[in-house]
Amino acid sequence: MTNAEVVRRYLAAQVDHDYDTQGALRHADWVAVWPQSGEIVRGDANMRAILEHYPGGAPELAPEGKLVGSEDRWAVSPLGGAYQVAGEGENWSGVWEITYPDGKTWRAIILVELRDGKVYRETEYWAEPFAAPAWRAQWIEQVDGSAGGGGRTLP
């Protein structure tokens, strides 16, 4: 597989909660870095345990979005999940929305590093949508819906 295919398949497996495919695409020394909480997850078994024990069930990734990359322009998972992904070589990034069991939808960015044709490291950031401040309303365009675009993927 090309690096683009590895990343596309890996992100589709995340949307589909396909832990076996994720594990097969992860490097033996895989880690996930979560800078906002100061955590590092080492190894596929630890990540799988986190997702399998997530209170209320594993979070759901948004079913729509864009994919932009060096080898493909668009990619869609078998269940309809699509991603905005950019990168080339061994460094990629993805953007999506994630809905937690409590119903809140956040925006997420994942930075993916490949090594030996597998996902070696991913660094993830999450941000909760918020209402645009009224003081700058005259200089911005507001996306339809509520705070943070109302769950719509921004252009």
| pLDDT score at 95 | 82
Confirm whether 37 is domain-assigned.
yes
| pLDDT score at 12 | 86
| pLDDT score at 62 | 73
| pLDDT score at 73 | 42
Domain that holds residue 42: 3-149
Dig out the tokens for 66 from the structure. 């864009």
| pLDDT score at 4 | 86
> Among 28-32, 55-59, 80-84, where is mean pLDDT lowest?
80-84
Which whole number is the average pLDDT over 5-25? 91
Which whole number is the average pLDDT over 97-102? 89
Tell whether the model's pLDDT for residue 28 goes beyond 50. yes
Cβ burial 46-78 (10 Å sphere, 16+ → b, else e): ebeeeeeeeeeeebebbeebbbebeeeeebbbe
CATH code of the domain containing 20: 3.10.450.50
Total tally of structural domains belonging to the chain: 1
| pLDDT tens string 106-154 | 888 889 999 999 999 999 999 998 888 999 999 988 876 545 544 444 4
Dig out the tokens for 36 from the structure. 């906002």
| pLDDT tens string 46-74 | 999 999 999 999 988 875 444 444 444 44
Q: What is the DSSP letter of 49?
A: H
Beta-carbon contacts of 112 under 8 Å, excluding residues fewer than 6 positions away, are: 7, 10, 87, 91, 92, 93, 94, 119, 121, 122
User: What letter represents residue 49's amino acid?
Assistant: A
Confirm whether 154 is domain-assigned.
no
Confirm whether 144 is domain-assigned.
yes
